[in-house]
Amino acid sequence: MKIESITLHHLSMPLVSPFETSFGRETTRQCVIIEIHSEGLIGWGECVASHDPGYSYETVGTSMHILRDFIVPLILGKDVKDAPDFQGRVSGIRGHHLAKAGVEMALWDLLGKRESKSLHELFGGVREKVEVGVSIGIQESAQGLVRSVAEYVGQGYARVKIKIKPGRDVEDASAVRREFPQLRLQVDANSAYSMDDASRLKPLDDLKLLLIEQPLFEDDIWDHHKFQAQFNTPICLDESIVSPRHARYAIEMKACKIINIKAGRLGGLSQGVMVHDLCLQHDMPVWCGGMLETGIGRASNLALASLPNFKLPGDVSASDRYYKNDITNERFVLNPDSTITVPTGVGLGVTINEDNLRAYTLKKEKFS
Ligand code: OSB
Ligand code: MG
């Protein structure tokens, strides 16, 4: 596919409600939308870097820089065959997976449109709809959290994840469990703890949680092994797994029992499929994480989550949980059985709402 032009759209979108994690609070979500023109077709991708380097060292600022100054020159005017070809071209760029993944997504959209296939078909997905849950940020109080959980359960979400941080962990999770004894519940610490906190967190083990996500530092897979050894609840790694190699380290070290797959963090959808396949071989279930995506990234998450080893509900909620107006014309809705239907249209299966895209764009850079 001859890459004729690339446009970077730096977006800022208001969230329907603030999202607070152990690393900060967002009321608007920023990202970079990537538009690639090739042979009469347009491919769209989403780079999930946000404004602050809280979840990842990458930000909208670093990804604009890496995209503009390094990735774009490597592919503009070139004939890029597919995802492996793209990964080969950018292999000299260390890290910056969120930036690379945004471009790879646009290439998959183009590939699907060219072959008249959905991403779900290209990946070999095995289900038409995927089980989903909702990720709830830290609220002003445990009571406020219980109210928020009740609201989402009322909307039909059968699995809830709550964010925890020091001072807002055992008590918050216990309050939710007390009110919802049967709810499929899990917690996410976003690296807020160290091994010194393990004994204090031990009461989490009595709350019948599906998993404890990323309690410790991102670059410390070995301490997660020690943490997992002290807990019956499965540990799930998110931030630590930045490549298929890291997934292998975690499996070999018994650092976790479950892996959260995010194509952005791994450097591309192709890498997400690789981690999926590796985990399948090792009987380790995976689930699809989320980064508060627009309809573009959400469509790609649904296609990925249709693969067979996605055994737990994903953080892929309905569009209205995030945005009043989205940049895709399609909005994703929650089915009564706590699933979302996988798009079947060609490529990502979504179309762009140009008015909304323009309204949310802070800055646009075109290369041709
Ligand atoms: O750790 O899973 C995370 C959002 C932004 C950054 C990191 C995380 C999250 C979420 C939200 O938990 C998941 C979603 O998109 O609903
Ligand atoms: Mg997480």
Provide the sign of the torsion angle of the four alpha carbons 109, 111, 113, 117, taken in this order: negative
Residue with CA closest to ligand 1 atom 9: 291
DSSP annotation of 268 reads S
Which residue's structure tokens are 């309809």? 295
Q: How confident is the model over 182-203, as a mean pLDDT? A: 98
Q: How confident is the model over 334-350, as a mean pLDDT? A: 98
Domains (ranges, CATH) in the chain? 5-116+353-367 (3.30.390.10), 121-341 (3.20.20.120)
Which residues have CB under 8 Å from 265's CB, separation 6+? 56, 97, 98, 101, 238, 239, 241, 242, 289
Under the banding of pLDDT at 50, 70 and 90, the label for residue 158 is: very high
What is the model's pLDDT at position 344?
A: 97
Residue with CA closest to ligand 1 atom 7: 291
Alpha-carbon distance of 222 to 225, in angstroms, equals 5
What is the model's pLDDT at position 99?
A: 98
pLDDT in tens, 244-262: 999 999 999 999 999 999 9
Under 8 Å between Cβ of 299 and 123: no
What is the model's pLDDT at position 276?
A: 98
Distance of CA 107 from the midpoint of ligand 2 (Å): 26
Under 8 Å between Cβ of 342 and 125: yes
Q: How confident is the model over 198-220, as a mean pLDDT? A: 98
What is the model's pLDDT at position 338?
A: 98
What is the model's pLDDT at position 91?
A: 98
What is the model's pLDDT at position 336?
A: 98
Name residue 81's amino acid. Answer: K
Under 8 Å between Cβ of 24 and 340: no
DSSP annotation of 1 reads -
Alpha-carbon distance of 161 to 173, in angstroms, equals 10
What is the model's pLDDT at position 7?
A: 98
Distance of CA 291 from the midpoint of ligand 1 (Å): 5
pLDDT in tens, 63-116: 999 999 999 999 999 999 999 999 999 999 999 999 999 999 999 999 999 999
What is the model's pLDDT at position 324?
A: 97
Mean pLDDT of the chain: 98
Task: Give the angle subtended at the CA of 288 by the CAs of 286 and 294, to the nearest 5°.
Answer: 170
Distance of CA 80 from the midpoint of ligand 2 (Å): 32
Closest to 106 measured CA to CA, from 4, 208, 205: 4
What is the model's pLDDT at position 211?
A: 98
What count of residues does the chain have? 368
- Torsion-angle region of residue 98: left (phi > 0), alpha (psi -120 to 50) or beta? alpha
Which residue's structure tokens are 């990804």? 63
What is the model's pLDDT at position 362?
A: 98
Q: What is the CA radius of gyration of the chain?
A: 20
Residues with beta carbon inside 6 Å of ligand 1?
55, 135, 188, 190, 238, 289-292, 315, 317
Alpha-carbon distance of 170 to 164, in angstroms, equals 8
Beta partners for residue 323, in sequence order: none
Beta strands in 137-273 (DSSP E): 159-163, 184-188, 212-213, 235-237, 258-261
pLDDT in tens, 102-155: 999 999 999 999 999 999 999 999 999 999 999 999 999 999 999 999 999 999
pLDDT in tens, 270-321: 999 999 999 999 999 999 999 999 999 999 999 999 999 999 999 999 999 9
Residues with beta carbon < 5 A to ion ligand 2?
188, 213, 238
